[in-house]
Amino acid sequence: MRKFAFCLVLVLASFFVACGLQDKPAASNKVSIVATIFPQYDWLRNILGEYADKVDLKLLIKNGTDLHSYEPSALDIASIASADLVVYVGGESDEWIEKALAATPKAGRVQVNLMKELGDRVKEEEVIEGMQSDPGEDGEGPENDEHIWLSLKNAEILVKSLAQTLAKIDTANASIYRANAILYASKIHDLDWAYDSTVSYAPQKAILFGDRFPFRYMVDDYGIKYYAAFVGCSAESEASFETVAFLAGMMDSLSLPAIFTIDGSHPNVARAILNASKNSKNVPVLQLNSMQSVTDEQIRSGLDYLSIMQSNLEMLKKALK
């Protein structure tokens, strides 16, 4: 049924593209860029710098919609079809983009799969001790972890790569894009150093999530051990008794000063873990922002990639003390 619906969306998108090409003013020569999620959108804004207003940059998945549950509209696919540059993550959640690109060919269009750009830095999702696996995954092979943007080291690599791509598309402003990328990448690098310094001197080296866990890239970067209820892409929201009991035991045995949830999530599992614990019932429930539910209002208010990652660092400080 979902496959049929997607085919119907592709047909409608083709109609919108055809009509759009007929109605497009001849004087319109802006470079058109589609970014699927907020982090890459914000990276591109910083690379473009003063030229951001001279480019048609569109964020596709917004208004708090999660990457894993997003379903494209015909207009979304039409935007991809007519774009000069399409930037997407490249994981399982983006399989529809590959189909949309193949079904709507356009001469000269550039597409950037960020996971391919990272190569062997991409990690497989892992199910660790105490973590509840999805029943639907039984018998399936391991999937790659899509949450590549939550590593500042990855972000620095990808910003430089995107700048090179933009420089090839818009050669007249190539030097500006490269210079902006160098400046922005240095800010990312400085924040990466702050994370590394914080963890190096922290007395605690473990964190626990009563939630999904999309932060594998982040914790691996700094040698933080983690425990969690579900993998990052899990559709589960109710933890089993065994999972709750195991995580409650870890809270107590490690004397953890906090438990985490992620943005856009209810703290019911985290609360259940604390209630099942013996000595951790009164520890705070903190939140790390995975940037999977950023809204238009937050973007307009000035929220950006670096400010979110800085806020995450402040939360980590509280959990690693």
**Per-residue pLDDT at 53:** 87
Which two tokens mark 155? 């972000």
First-to-final CA distance of the chain: 50
**3-class state of residue 75 by DSSP:** helix
Please state, in angstroms and rounded to a whole number, the distance separating the CA atoms of residues 55 and 180: 15
pTM: 0.90
User: E strand or H helix at 231, and its extent?
Assistant: strand 225-231
**Per-residue pLDDT at 293:** 85
Q: What is the DSSP letter of 132?
A: B
Nearest to 113 by CA among 138, 135, 134, 144: 144
Please state, in angstroms and rounded to a whole number, the distance separating the CA atoms of residues 41 and 21: 25
Run means of pLDDT, 10 residues per run, the chain, 321 residues: 42 45 50 96 97 92 78 90 96 90 94 97 94 64 90 98 96 96 98 98 97 96 97 80 97 97 94 97 97 91 97 98 91
Q: Please give the domain boundaries of the chain with CATH numbers for all domains.
A: 2-124+145-190 (3.40.50.1980), 203-319 (3.40.50.1980)
Please state, in angstroms and rounded to a whole number, the distance separating the CA atoms of residues 17 and 14: 5
Which two tokens mark 123? 């990690």
**Per-residue pLDDT at 303:** 95
Please state, in angstroms and rounded to a whole number, the distance separating the CA atoms of residues 189 and 185: 6
**Per-residue pLDDT at 69:** 73
Handedness of CA 23, 28, 30, 31 (dihedral sign): positive
Is the distance from CB of 125 to CB of 93 less than 8 angstroms? no
Strand ordering across the sheet containing 56-59: 56-59, 32-35, 85-88, 110-113
Residue 255 backbone phi and psi in degrees, to 5: 55, 50
Please state, in angstroms and rounded to a whole number, the distance separating the CA atoms of residues 26 and 43: 30
